[in-house]
Structure 1
């Protein structure tokens, strides 16, 4: 996919009531700031969907609850919406923006910034979808079961380093912008890259063919494997071990 559809981002509805245990709201000038969190419950796994149409996105581990987030924005239509519900033993967390359709009517300068922290210990299926956004996604040390990252316009850094305990798949679909991916040495990694317009730089990996790269651990038959499927649009990509 060469270009992302960034004109409209779907915001899925949630049937259950909002289960938030804390919200702090302050306003400084025209920029608003909110802090929200989702408390731990009996869930033994999570699905997390993050949808950011415009702004800076930072995602990392770092909370004992299921989620903590600090949101800054300067337009009411960019207000964050955090929904959580529990179905059986699986928790479902959805983070999006107030507006239903994306447009460029928020002025030339945008101050939206999301700093999100997730729990590192609970098995998580994570889906991140951005429109116009520079993103820093540091997932090192988390417990992922599946990862899907879909970006529109902007640069993205994805840190997947660390000693993972279970195998999982990663899907990365980028539109326009440079992509940097850090991969682990400790487990097997297989990267399949469908490159659009731009250069790909792969460091310390074994080239299998024009689209496939593996690390030494994968070549040696590692028990735990991360398989990355990258569909790249316009921009350069750098993949390196960390």
Structure 2
């Protein structure tokens, strides 16, 4: 496929679950656009990838050790990729039923992480340059721990209504827009936090950018 004068390659990949009862997934995108959404069915992952530089071609590696699946998606060699305008789009769907430890590393990338209805065990995100939206709305049966390292750019977190939620940061709350939440000491919580025995708790490491919290539906 050709956009203007830029030739863009595309490929799709599906990963099938064998015996895994839990999953660790690592998505490492150096530049471009990352979109993560829930996946119904028995597949571990469905991914559609578009890229204009061969060095950006992602490798999809999946192994199982006993009952744990390990998924890694990353370019083979991105160390020498410049910040010029390349096409690099990842559309990744992850199984929403299996317990998931999700790790995301985004360099100069825009990320949309939709975790509604997923079975998250833990979340760790390292964000570089670019905007990020993390959607935690929807119905949650249990909470989890998350660590978010924010870089440059805007980070938007859509907060759930049906489960307790708490956000804390080492640098205070000055850069956080949070009109929908309550401040308790150096933390932000929703209305259900104090009565929730298993909340979602986020530790936020603030960078240069801005963080916006919005109460979801």
Q: Work out whether the TM-score is over 0.5.
A: yes
| 2:153 is the alignment partner of 1:177 | yes
Give the superposed CA RMSD.
1.7
Q: Secondary structure at the match of 2:55?
A: helix
What residue in structure 2 maps to residue 104 of structure 1?
82
Name segments (4+ residues, structure 1) moved above 3 Å: 194-198
| 2:49 is the alignment partner of 1:71 | yes
Question: 8 Å contact 2:114–2:134 — kept in the other structure?
Answer: yes
Residues of 2 paired with 1:110 and 1:197: CA distance? 35
What residue in structure 1 maps to residue 196 of structure 2?
222
| 2:19 is the alignment partner of 1:37 | no
What residue in structure 1 maps to residue 27 of structure 2?
50
| 2:68 is the alignment partner of 1:90 | yes
Could you say if the C-alpha distance between residues 196 and 50 of structure 1 is closer, same or farther in structure 2, counting changes exceeding 3 Å? farther
Question: 8 Å contact 1:198–1:234 — kept in the other structure?
Answer: no
Deviation at 1:136, TM superposition (A): 0.5
Flag the structure with higher strand content: 2
Q: Which runs of 5+ in 2 are unaligned?
A: none
Residues of 2 paired with 1:118 and 1:141: CA distance? 11
Deviation at 1:71, TM superposition (A): 0.4
Give deviations 1:44-88, integer Å, cap 9, x for gaps: 000000100111000111242100000000011001100000100
Q: Secondary structure at the match of 1:66?
A: strand
Residues of 2 paired with 1:198 and 1:234: CA distance? 12
Question: 8 Å contact 2:40–2:97 — kept in the other structure?
Answer: no
What residue in structure 2 maps to residue 23 of structure 1?
none
Deviation at 1:145, TM superposition (A): 0.3
Give the count of matched residue pairs.
212
Residues of 2 paired with 1:199 and 1:205: CA distance? 14
Of 223-232 and 80-89, more deviation after overlay is shown by 223-232
What residue in structure 1 maps to residue 214 of structure 2?
240
Residues of 1 paired with 2:11 and 2:64: CA distance? 23
Could you say if the C-alpha distance between residues 188 and 38 of structure 1 is closer, same or farther in structure 2, counting changes exceeding 3 Å? same
Residues of 2 paired with 1:161 and 1:102: CA distance? 37
| 2:188 is the alignment partner of 1:213 | yes
Could you say if the C-alpha distance between residues 143 and 179 of structure 1 is closer, same or farther in structure 2, counting changes exceeding 3 Å? same
So what's the TM-score if we normalise by structure 1?
0.83
Q: Which runs of 5+ in 1 are unaligned?
A: 1-26
Give deviations 1:164-218, integer Å, cap 9, x for gaps: 1122101110110101000101001111024489731113211012x31111101
Residues of 2 paired with 1:195 and 1:231: CA distance? 8
